[in-house]
Amino acid sequence: MSLLIRNARILTLASSDAGARPRRGRALGDLGVIPHGEVLVVDDRIAAVGEKVDAPADAEVIEANGRVLLPGFVDCHTHACWAGDRLAEWEQKLRGVPYLEILKQGGGIHSTVRAVREATQKQLASGLRDRLQLMLREGTTTVEVKSGYGLSTEAELKMLRAIRRAGSEWAGTVVPTALLGHAFEGELDDYARMVVKEMLPEIAREFPGVAVDAFCERNAWSVEASVKLLEKARKHHPIRVHTDQFTSLGMVPEAIRLFARSADHLEAATKKDLVALAASETIGVILPATGFHTDQRYARAGFFVDQGGAVALATNCNPGTAPTHSMPLAIALAVRFCGLTSAEAIAAATVNAAAVLGLTDRGRIEAGLRADLVLLHHRDERQLAYELGGNPVELVVCGGCRV
């Protein structure tokens, strides 16, 4: 099957010297634009890109009419597998109750934990599949989905199996992450010891090589507990960390030392830690929908990029602090509140987000890569960040197929 998209403004995100590596500093804003070009897709791959390409006579033609064509969005940080809702908690927040106070009262993550434990694997997979379809309609073709609402070996495995099942039934790509250090029950030291000695080996047995994540924050996992888990996990797994969402506890230097694939959130990160992170191989993932919904605090991504850092952008889709599936909204918020330009936000949502997940075959429009493409309604990519609300996507090609 062949597909020819012609007369498009193509954002290739290609770079002759960077390849699949994350973009840093000024390079982040280079979108590799072909002002008037064509892309040929054969089966599930991009076969050719250029101002003019040779296409089979029987290729299906999509006329772009000068509209923007870019890689499919990669949402590299979500908690999109859950059960229940958090509407009562949201009303508390509107009345001024801080999130950490809600957490202390047994709300927040703990309310979702109860709902997830009561749900079947089939129900979890069905709910996730519905959310994935919504994401696809707005241009997201690759999604990372975390566990973390189980808090027992059995429930965490149930979540990961549901994530795997939903991914197998979806047109795009789902990348599971084992968020083993999220909340906890009882004493943290005892719970963390159980996770390292019992839960981690079981997860590794059934999901070898899955990324392992920890949420380091007050009333969640401490720096010490997070480090013990990640030091054990990194022997066989990529590692990631939630850090500095509300408070700077010293986890950023540990993430750098442990060669974590990413440090996510960073709203409360100090300038010193951002400078150090920028000089490291660890990618900073910003989640502006969280600040927009929760406390109006945002990561200083512009400063981070100015220091030469590699930044990625994600929705943090979850029922409590970021109830959105929209990468276009995340881009718009990152430009308004995090100091990124429109071009930088697009790169952060595509090529750099793919790097967070260790995926080298997407996030760019180049021959040989997976054919995940998004055609916008717009002829100027800045419109993607400028508009708020609505769906800017005209057409999605996922794995070479129109969806």
Beta strands in 217-355 (DSSP E): 239-243, 262-265, 283-286, 311-313
- 289: nearest Cα among 377, 222, 388, 378: 388
Mean pLDDT of 217-246: 97
Mean pLDDT of 376-380: 98
pLDDT digit string, tens, across residues 187-218: 999 999 999 999 999 999 999 999 999 999 99
**pLDDT score of 101:** 81
Provide, rounded to the nearest whole percent, the portion of the chain with pLDDT above 90: 90
- For residue 103, pLDDT beyond 90: no
- 135: nearest Cα among 174, 109, 186: 174
CA 97 to centroid of chain Cα atoms = 28
Q: How many helices (H) and strands (E) does the chain have?
A: 16, 16
pLDDT digit string, tens, across residues 152-180: 999 999 999 999 999 999 999 999 999 99
**pLDDT score of 20:** 77
Residues 109, 97: Cα–Cα separation, whole Å: 15
Q: Write out the H or E segment, with its range, that includes residue 74.
A: strand 73-75
Strand order in the sheet with 283-286: 73-75, 140-146, 173-181, 211-216, 239-243, 262-265, 283-286, 311-313
Mean pLDDT of 80-100: 89
**pLDDT score of 146:** 98
- For residue 106, pLDDT beyond 80: no
Choice among 20-29, 207-216, 273-282, 322-331 with the minimum mean pLDDT: 20-29
What is the CATH architecture of 2-71+361-402? Roll (2.30)
Determine the 3-state secondary structure of 159 from DSSP.
Answer: helix
Question: What single-letter DSSP state applies at residue 359?
Answer: -
- For residue 107, pLDDT beyond 80: no
| Residue 97: band (very low, low, confident or very high) from pLDDT cuts 50, 70, 90 | confident
**pLDDT score of 110:** 85
| Residue 16: band (very low, low, confident or very high) from pLDDT cuts 50, 70, 90 | low
pLDDT digit string, tens, across residues 287-306: 999 999 988 999 999 999 99
This prediction's pTM: 0.96
Higher pLDDT, 389 or 399: 399
- For residue 345, pLDDT beyond 90: yes
Q: Quote the tokens at residue 50.
A: 């250029």
For the domain covering 74-356, report its CATH number: 3.20.20.140
- For residue 284, pLDDT beyond 80: yes
Give me the residue spans of the domains in the chain. Answer: 2-71+361-402, 74-356
| Residue 89: band (very low, low, confident or very high) from pLDDT cuts 50, 70, 90 | confident
pLDDT digit string, tens, across residues 49-82: 999 999 999 999 999 999 999 999 999 999 999 9
